[in-house]
Chains A and B, each alone.
Chain A
Amino acid sequence: MFALIAELSRWAIPGVLLIVLLAAFVRGVKVYETFVDGAEAGFSTAVKIIPYLVAMLVAISIFRASGAMEVLVAALSPVLDQVGLPAEVLPHAIMRPLSGGAALGIASDIIKIHGPDSFLGQLVSTMQGSCDTTFYVLTLYFGSVGVKKYRYSIISGLLADLTTLVASVYIVNVIF
């Protein structure tokens, strides 16, 4: 099963390219011209994202480097202790929606210290794998089309992240 999915991943992009090019050619599309036409907007799209990403990453970077995250962890850990969440994974849980790289760093630390097959190791692996960097995705995607008012997107994104946390604790508890 895993081998099958891995194989599928390896073939996905060459496969898509092959299908798209052949289908376009058969339909009589001028392939080269059409590709260049579409690709033209690539630079401006990427550049458009810059101010949004700068704003968000500066805030996240300050939040991390100042030690504010540790303060938040210290404030939240008694609460989360009550619901059975190990305090060790709390920094990861807070970092996961903010910064993918930082969360991965915390996860590998926990895996290194406690071992990959320990309860904490399995838990943090599951948490790392099962959610995305909410703030980064929102900033990037909304930024690319110039949307500044995210409405309730942050709330639904964070609710999903919270669910991942609770579900991971429950599932890992049951399985391992």
Chain B
Amino acid sequence: MVNYVWLAMIIFGIIVAAVNGNIEAVTRAAFDGADAAVKISLGLIAIITFWLGVMKLAEAAGLVRALAWLVQPVMRFLFPGVPKEHPAMGAMMMNLSANILGLGNAATPMGLIAMQELQKLNRRRSDTASDAMCTFLALNTSCITLIPTTIIGIRLLYGSADPTAVVGPTIMATAFSMAVAIIADRMLRKIFGGRER
């Protein structure tokens, strides 16, 4: 799937640029994209290092397990393949909480830690996503902050009479998309699933 999407974006882009007589834009865009990717990755070093350290402490103190135990009922349902009280549960919960609170700087490292824990449980080949990873990412991409501070800031900037008016609709729309993400994940797992060793 990702192969086709990736291929289509580049090939279609080159064709459109050629038709528009704007082919040099492709060259520039390719290097700009690569540049941005490396900058983002390197920019993550600091926060990933910091949170990996904190998470190691939390794990050693038994807090990750305690958190995993706390959220067990919901997480058992969502991630039947992950043993209860596994550190992956705690890390996923911390990632989702950080997302909801709008702590982007903490959410990403927590998510990466959760992925590492899930990879330890992966019973497919290590280059293939496990069921739990797919569920986690479906939740992660559809769940978003309670207070979208950036967009509220922009609304304020352009003189909105009620900048926070969109908070309610945002939460409602998120609820819909989370529900669909969970259902779609379950159904797609049945369709594409099978052979988890």
Contacts and interface: CB of A to CB of B under 8 A. Distances in A.
Interface residues of A, number: 100
Contact of B57 (A21, A47, A57): A21
Nearest to B168: A175
B169 interface: yes
A168 B172 CA distance: 8
Contacts of B133: 141-142, 147, 153
Chain B: number of interface residues, binned into ranges:
35 or more
Contact of B142 (A49, A122, A132): A132
Interface in B125-165: 126-129, 133-134, 136-138, 140-148, 150-151, 154-155, 158-165
Contacts of B189: 152
Nearest to A148: B127
A55 B37 CA distance: 8
Given A20-B63, A153-B129, A131 B10 contact: no
Interface in A126-172: 126-134, 137-138, 140-142, 144-157, 159-161, 163-164, 167-168, 171-172
Interface string B156-197: 001111111111111111101110110011001101100000
Given A13-B103, A62-B13, A104-B151, 6 more contacts: A16-B106, A39-B50, A67-B22, A130-B170, A138-B2, A157-B181
Interface of A: 2, 5-6, 8-9, 12-13, 16-17, 19-21, 23-24, 26-27, 29, 31, 34-43, 45-47, 49-50, 53-68, 71, 104, 107-108, 111-112, 115-117, 121-122, 125-134, 137-138, 140-142, 144-157, 159-161, 163-164, 167-168, 171-172, 175-176
